[in-house]
Chains A and B, each alone.
Chain A
Amino acid sequence: MIHHDVIVVGGGLSGLRAAIEAKRAGVDVAILSQVHPCRSHSGAAQGGINAALGNHPDGADDTWEKHAFDTTKGGDYLVDQDAAIQMAKDAIGIIYEMDHWGCLFSRFNDGRIAQRPFGGAGFPRCCYGLDKTGHYLLHTLVEQAYRLQIKMYVEQYVAKLIVHDGVCQGVVTYDMIHGGFESFTANAVVIATGGAGRTYSNSTNSIISTGSGMFMAYHAGVPLKDMEFVQFHPTGLFTTNILMTEGARGEGGYLVNGLGERFMEKYAPKFMELAPRDITARSIQTEINEGRGVNGQGYVHLDLRHLGAEKILERLPGIRDLAIHFEGVDPIEEPIPVVPSQHYWMGGIDTNVDGATPMPGLYAAGECACVSVHGANRLGGNSLLETIVFGRRAGADVVRYLETLTDKRPNARTAFATAQLMEQMIDELGAKNGTENVYVLRAEMTETMKEHYGLFRDEATMKAGIEKLLSIKERVKNVGLRWTGRVFNVDMIRTVEFEGMVDLALCVAEGALARTESRGAHFRTDHNTRDDVNWLKHTLAYYRPDTPGPRLDAKPVTLGPFELQERKY
């Protein structure tokens, strides 16, 4: 049994920033991560991070108020406005801090941080480092974590929360290198494990983005909020769904259909290719569905050729490499075949603006959390921002929480028992003669999510999807562990986490079926308008151990200075 005052689960941007904040306040903090922190999914982010610096000549009048407004409108007003305002305010200092820590930012000629236009934003406010912004930010925070000598336990798969009398007191992990289960006790735990993109078969996300932190909290009784809102990025590569940054359109790239038309003028005449992602993705899918895909196929073109080789090499070298390696297309010479692809999880663990969940001692930040700052649809450039802003805030609040505790000794008996329970579960799985193949089930589930809970939803399709998910959930009982070795058992992790992924899928499905309106990324062909009278509220999903699928509840949206209006771009 190992003890730290604070345990951070996940070493991406949110987790690192939370740990840095706690460490700087003198708290004993450790990061536990399934991969080395520098391998986290944050590093795959490309286009940039929003802050109203006003460095761009066209952005001189930009303010954090306007950033908060764009965020709220982009989120189709399901945004808690106090949170959006807080994020937009904090954004400016966050960017300068990352610069002072050495992050690579592309620069204007005067040496200030460059900014580019991004979707749904009234001003060019997206700061960037070429098209590898996430990679540069992530390595900068990894470097700071080393500088501060933050303890990192690498390749520890966190499997379970330790909860004593309703208070979170640590986690149980599978130590992949040494091959055993370990309990880590703590006075507070911050979950920062990222999204659950891999519950969809067409995701841009890392293979490790399975939502493990979300279902861990969910199983412990913490509600998940707004899970029906899943973002599809307009431009994933056609064959692999690998991300082609929105920055490509920010730099002037066109979306073109099979007839050679810049079709976005039909859907968003003012913003064109830089409409918010929900609108752009649906526009692309409409073109494809109506037979105007390229060569009658299921994709459209992202055309960068008119930008010229120099600009592509200078601003977008990363996606050029990806297009060459993974699609066999050089964007300098040819247009890139793209399709809308699952990209971001707006919903997540219910937290306040300081990352606190309803469970004492448990915090969450980043994509696994739902503050709610993105509402029904996240704007590009706001997710990197969210990770650092709310990671920092969670780290600061954890320190305040620790000061309020009188008894700082986690219950060792509970910690020990939780680890034993985990061991027992693995032993039982290993002894079972499984009749179902977990990878067959996984493929069925991810395909069900893609087909039944995609860009366009309707009651009949969603009900059929729930039937499938429930049957998969039932069949999971017949899955056994095929190899019981303890060292770096990839098969064990992928088997054990699957049921949690199905539970998250059911939260999406039930939430989407219940919400009889269209808002942001949740679009229903049978209820195609926003219904503020009945549905201007958050969905909460609670785990039920004895019944498959969540118990749904609601929570009011925090309104503020921005009045509800119809979204037009």
Chain B
Amino acid sequence: MSDIKFRLKRQDPRDKENPEAHWEEYTVKYEGENLTVLEGLFYIQESLDPSLSFRYGCGQSICGSCAMYINGAYRLACQTNVKHLAADVITVAPMPHLPLIKDMIVDMDDFFAKYEQIKPWLIRNSPDPEKELIQSAKDAKKIEMPSDCILCGSCYSSCPSAWGEENYLGPAALLKAYRFEVDTRDEAGRERMPDWDNERGVYRCHTIMNCVEACPKELNPTEGIEWLKRAAVRRKVFRRAK
């Protein structure tokens, strides 16, 4: 049996007696050599403090529920093994710069509203063929990186441009715009462009690249945003450009 100290940022703004943020420490016991941060949170909730709130879903780094700020970095709690953190204390806080609901639970409504804003679906005008739309393996490859986004919100929380401008769409929504604009099956033409070709969109990105560092799936939102900026220029200069 091993044990390790967890330090959690706790806050229940609706608790009249103690609405302020504060830190609490817990000792988590576990067997064997492996413990994920999510398992540690479950141990605390089950054995030490039933009032702890945190999001969880799959426990296998695909659902995007458990992005948190762990030992100074954005991580998925389920994917983070404490032994790899090589630290005496595991410090867990909710994703910063997002409205707090309770403990590790942040308000993701704006995040999803911005996702919706860029029309995150394939837009087609021609009638569908009887079978599949033909897409080369090379073209399919182009949508792989942006399609791997799990909408965990790490990039959005980490982006200084988003901290300063509440209407900025942010890296995740723009990566999603890129995902469709770069898809050879998409026929939006310029339909989606007004949503991202503006000061609330791609031009608010100052290539600080925090999003690239924050992404637990090792994706590159900045690359997508830069592609969109180039596409915007191309489309403005050449009337027929896609």
Contact = CB atoms under 8 A, between A and B. Distances in A.
Contacts of A41: 57-58, 63
Contacts of A240: 60
B162 to A, nearest CB: 19
Contacts of B62: 43-44, 132, 135
Contact of A485 (B51, B130, B147, B151): B51
Contact of B65 (A35, A135, A177): A35
Interface stretch (B2-10, B116-124, B196-204, B228-236): B116-124
A43 B63 contact: yes
Contacts, number: 153
B140 A104 contact: yes
Contact of B147 (A39, A101, A136, A147): A136
B182 to A, nearest CB: 12
A322 B58 CA distance: 13
A243 B61 CA distance: 12
B63 A490 contact: no
A132 B124 CA distance: 24
Interface in B102-147: 102-103, 105, 108, 112, 115-116, 119-122, 124, 128, 130-137, 140, 143-144, 147
B101 A206 contact: no
B207 interface: no
Contact of B151 (A38, A325, A326): A38
Interface stretch (B21-29, B42-50, B219-227): B42-50
A63 interface: no
A143 B121 contact: yes
A139 interface: yes
A302 interface: no
A488 B57 CA distance: 14
A52 to B, nearest CB: 13
A413 interface: no
A531 interface: no
B239 interface: no
Interface in B26-40: 32, 34
Interface residues on B, range: 35 or more
Contact of A482 (B50, B133, B143): B50
Contacts of A489: 51, 53
B60 A439 contact: no
A43 B34 CA distance: 25
B168 interface: no
Interface in A81-129: 95-96, 99-102, 104-113, 129
A207 B132 contact: no
Interface string A205-241: 0111000000000000000000000000000000110
B60 A322 contact: yes
A487 B64 contact: no
Interface in A13-52: 35-36, 38-41, 43-44
Interface string A360-401: 000000000000000000000000000000000000000000
B186 interface: yes
B63 A35 contact: yes
Interface in A319-347: 321-322, 325-326
A133 B180 CA distance: 18
Contact of B63 (A95, A143, A206): A206
Nearest to B12: A487
A216 B140 CA distance: 42
B79 A96 contact: no
A111 B136 contact: yes
Contacts of B206: none
Interface residues of A, number: 57
B136 A487 contact: no
B112 A207 contact: no
Contacts of A322: 60-61
A106 B137 contact: yes
A39 B148 contact: no
Residue among B46, B130, B183 with the highest chain A CB neighbour number at 10 A: B46
Contacts of A144: 121
Nearest to B111: A36
A110 B138 CA distance: 11
Nearest to A327: B34
Contacts of B50: 482-483, 491
Contacts of A326: 60, 79
Nearest to B131: A96
B240 interface: no
A130 interface: yes
B132 A112 contact: yes
A491 B58 contact: no
A53 B81 CA distance: 42
Nearest to A35: B57
22 contacts: A36-B108, A36-B151, A38-B63, A38-B151, A39-B63, A40-B63, A53-B131, A96-B130, A96-B132, A102-B121, A107-B137, A107-B140, A108-B137, A112-B131, A112-B132, A136-B147, A144-B121, A206-B63, A239-B32, A488-B105, A491-B45, A491-B50
Interface of A: 35-36, 38-41, 43-44, 53, 95-96, 99-102, 104-113, 129-130, 132, 135-136, 139, 143-144, 146-147, 177, 179, 206-208, 239-240, 242-243, 321-322, 325-326, 439, 482-483, 485, 487-491
Given A104-B147, A143-B121, 11 more contacts: A43-B58, A44-B63, A96-B128, A135-B147, A135-B148, A147-B119, A206-B57, A206-B60, A207-B57, A326-B60, A490-B45
